[in-house]
Amino acid sequence: MTPPLQTTQATDGRAPSWVSARQRGQEAPKGSIPSWFYPVAATGTVVGLWWALTAVGIWSELILPSPSQVWHAFVQSVTEHDGRPGLSGYYLWEHLWASLWRIVRGVAWALVVGAPLGLALGLWRPFERFAGPIVSFLRSLPPLGYFSLLIIWFGIDDTSKVWLLFLAAFAPISLSVAAGVASTRIERINASLVLGANNAQVVRYVVLPSVVPDLITGLRVAVGFAWTTIVAAETSNGIPGIGGLAWATKKELRSDVAILCVIVIGITAVLLDYGIRQFEKKYAGWYGRW
């Protein structure tokens, strides 16, 4: 006799490793390697390699400073020395916060404008035909291409930088919201219609919640894009600012500070993305499970 066919989904022991325990409705297996192990191991490996490379001394310290030099730069950046605070006149956290605050404002405006715009694009075909090409056009421009225009219009202070970030961030947000509206499952819309929903109720009860995962995806893309943009934007009048600090090092050949900035930007960006993903788990945890 042939064994009975396995008709249940392969979700338990034999599930592929990329199917998370949560998706399978299980606890993470006990006694397995804790989740913090991997990032710690990865960091250790990179720093170890870096240290080994500098210890061998193939390159001069100017080209590849050692971990301890970068650490020294870090200490300088958070303390007062020679009567001046930190580096380039500001402490490290002031630089970082200046950049973050620009990003937060730019991306917040992008959310406020981009999400409703995306909804309108997705819900209203004629508007999509009209405004869709404009948004696509904006998205395809490298932001720094129009930065000088913004400086001419808004001056060299923060305003032009926030505008730049806003313009960089709003297109990915509105396009992914529009795509989310378009991919709302028709049977869910129909389900609300046969329960008596009017158009506004369909949007409120079905379309808006359906779009949340796409909104968050758009937000992640936008924040990533904003980081790449801000660092470049801070090359002009960007102090305080972590990108401005990184750029200023070239005059004094402070490669240790440049590396410090890269590390700080990287860690901050990763933490920010992690935060958004936690938010996603909470509010869009259903996504991908159905």
Partner 1 sequence: MTQQHDEGTVERHLGRAIAVHDVTHEYISDAGPVVALEGINVEIPGGEFTVLLGPSGCGKSTLLELIAGLRIPTSGILTIGDARIVGPSRHRGLVFQQSSSLLPWLSVEDNVALGLRINGMPKDERKKRIAEELERVHLSDFAQHRVTELSGGMQQRCQIARALAVDPEVLLLDEPFGALDALTRESLQAEIRRIWQETGRTFVFVTHSVEEAVLLGSRVLVMSPRPGRVIHDQELPFAHAREPITEVRADPTFVNQCHELRAMIGAH
Q: 210 vs 249, which CB is nearer to partner 1? A: 210
Q: Residues 259 to 288: which contact partner 1 by CB under 8 A? A: 284, 286
- The DSSP code sequence of 66-108 is -HHHHHHHHHHHTSEETTEETBTTB-HHHHHHHHHHHHHHHHH
Strands 84-85 and 80-81: antiparallel
Instruction: Please state the closest distance from residue 30 (CB atom) to partner 1, in A.
Output: 22
Q: Which among 114-122, 202-210, 238-246, 262-270 is the span making contact with partner 1, rule CB under 8 A?
A: 202-210
Site string (168-197) toward partner 1, x via CB under 8 A = -----------------x-xxxxxxxxxxx
Q: Residues 211 to 270: which contact partner 1 by CB under 8 A? A: 212
Alpha-carbon distance values, 72 to 66, 250, 257, 259 (Å): 10, 18, 9, 12
User: For partner 1, which residue of 96, 164, 202, 231 counts as binding (CB under 8 A)?
Assistant: 202
Quote the CA–CA distance of 43 and 68 in Å, as a whole number.
Answer: 15
Instruction: Please state the closest distance from residue 286 (CB atom) to partner 1, in A.
Output: 4
Instruction: Please state the closest distance from residue 210 (CB atom) to partner 1, in A.
Output: 8
Instruction: Please state the closest distance from residue 190 (CB atom) to partner 1, in A.
Output: 5
Containing 84, the helix (H) or strand (E) segment is strand 84-85
Q: 3 vs 145, which CB is nearer to partner 1? A: 3
Q: 36 vs 290, which CB is nearer to partner 1? A: 290
Alpha-carbon distance values, 12 to 7, 286, 289 (Å): 13, 19, 15
Alpha-carbon distance values, 22 to 18, 51, 272, 277, 278 (Å): 11, 39, 23, 15, 14
Do residues 60 and 51 touch, judged by C-beta distance below 8 A? no
- φ and ψ of 85, to 5 deg: -75, 140
Q: 132 vs 209, which CB is nearer to partner 1? A: 209
Quote the CA–CA distance of 224 and 232 in Å, as a whole number.
Answer: 13
**What is the CB-side half-sphere exposure of residue 189 using CA atoms within 13 A?**
14
User: For partner 1, which residue of 115, 169, 206, 264 counts as binding (CB under 8 A)?
Assistant: 206
Q: 153 vs 286, which CB is nearer to partner 1? A: 286
Q: 131 vs 197, which CB is nearer to partner 1? A: 197
Residues 6+ positions from 173 with CB-CB distance below 8 Å: 110, 111, 114, 115, 118, 215, 218, 219, 221, 222
Instruction: Please state the closest distance from residue 15 (CB atom) to partner 1, in A.
Output: 16
User: For partner 1, which residue of 43, 60, 198, 278 counts as binding (CB under 8 A)?
Assistant: 198
| Count of residues that bind partner 1 according to CB under 8 A | 26
User: For partner 1, which residue of 2, 18, 56, 290 counts as binding (CB under 8 A)?
Assistant: 290
* Interaction of residue 5 with partner 1, rule CB under 8 A: no
Instruction: Please state the closest distance from residue 241 (CB atom) to partner 1, in A.
Output: 39
CA 273 to chain centre: 5
Interface residues toward partner 1, by CB under 8 A: 7, 25, 185, 187-199, 201-202, 205-206, 209, 212, 284, 286, 289-290
